[in-house]
Amino acid sequence: MEPGTFGQSLVDFENSIGLTVNTENQFGCMVNTVMNPWQASGEFVWRVGEIYREACLLAYGWQLDPKAKHMFVCGDLQYTEKNGWFMFANVVGEFGKKSHQYECVTKLAVVNQADVIKIQQYQQNGGLFASNKKEEVLYQMLLDAADDTGAEFEFNYRNQSGGTLFTASLKVVDTPRIKHFETQSDPDLQYPDNYQYFMYGEGGKVYLSHMITKKPDFQQVVEVETLPIKMYGEKDGWLLWYGFPVTFTDLPVDQNNPKANPLIESDRTYHIKFAGEKHKNREMDIVLKDNTGWFDNYALNR
């Protein structure tokens, strides 16, 4: 099997559930694999197994997770002709609670124009959290909120523990990433060599969300201030819409303190690599808006 021959459907599915961490060992998919299964490589079988396992974890959680409120870290409100007013949002995960053992990046559109003004006013005073008002399993909540009427969310400030500031109806228009946490008892579960983040964006906003491995770890969302102009070209610009994993090549994971914030460069400039158009390795420098963004290593590890 030629390693550079890719089955696009399999690759697209793998990308959609975030199983593209190891971009060094790319794999192929033969058209006649079903006819000649013995010709499939061990790497191919392993990667297909990862996809199947992740699908099982998501299905298992969908059926058996307790219903709960899920807190989302809200990005800035922005506008595009396709989505109207919307914001990217990241779920706040927790290893210790079955309902919250997820990474999730979703795109929430504001249903009512009056709520747009309200959200903009409050965002001027600080970052916001949004939580679904009706307790639900995460997967089911995302499906229900994809309806035209959306679902009701409660908002509060990130740095305050007070009551609800206001409520608004939000509609899920896309979910670039949803991934169940790995089974923590797996003896083969290891931190990566270098820090890995999920990059995504639209409408001029680009974000990075840290990809969680195992307890202890951290969750973080930072905004990218500067990208090379070529990233917005025909070759790789579409990747931002789907979202894709990137590796910080100059940031090895601190195996002794894996829950610490690794983003400490004074100029906020970092080198990343990723699989670009036709899965070719790409590398570039990016500049972050700040080195912290939203960061948590407490709630996650409870």
Is 237 strand, coil or helix? helix
Asked if 131 and 71 count as a contact pair (C-beta separation under 8 A), the reply is yes
Question: How do 102-110 and 166-180 pair as beta strands?
Answer: antiparallel
Task: Give the pLDDT score at 234.
Answer: 53
Q: What is the pLDDT of residues 48-93, one digit of tens each?
A: 777 777 788 888 888 889 999 999 999 999 999 988 999 999 999 9
Peptide bond into 216 cis (omega under 30): yes
| Amino acid making up residue 19 | L
Give the contacts of 233 (CB within 8 A, at least 6 positions apart). none
Residue 257 one-letter amino acid: N
263 versus 4: the higher-pLDDT residue is 263
Tokens of 211: 């990809």
Q: What's the CA gap between 169 and 225, in Å, rounded?
A: 29
Provide the residue ranges of all domains of the chain, joining segments of one domain with +. Answer: 71-180, 194-296
Q: Is the pLDDT of residue 272 over 70?
A: yes
pTM: 0.83
Q: Terminus-to-terminus CA distance in the chain, angstroms?
A: 45
What does the mean pLDDT of the chain come to?
Answer: 86
Question: Could you tell me the CA-to-CA distances from 86 to 7, 117, 164 in Å, in that order?
Answer: 33, 12, 20
CA pseudo-torsion sign 61, 67, 68, 70 = positive
> To 5 degrees, how large is the angle CA 283–CA 86–CA 171?
120
Burial code of 179-217, b = ≥16 C-beta within 10 A, e = fewer?
Answer: bbbbeeeeeeeeeeeebbbbbbbbeebbbbbbbbbbbeb
Give tens-digit pLDDT for 82-122: 889 999 999 999 999 999 999 999 999 999 999 999 999 99
3-class DSSP state of 144: helix
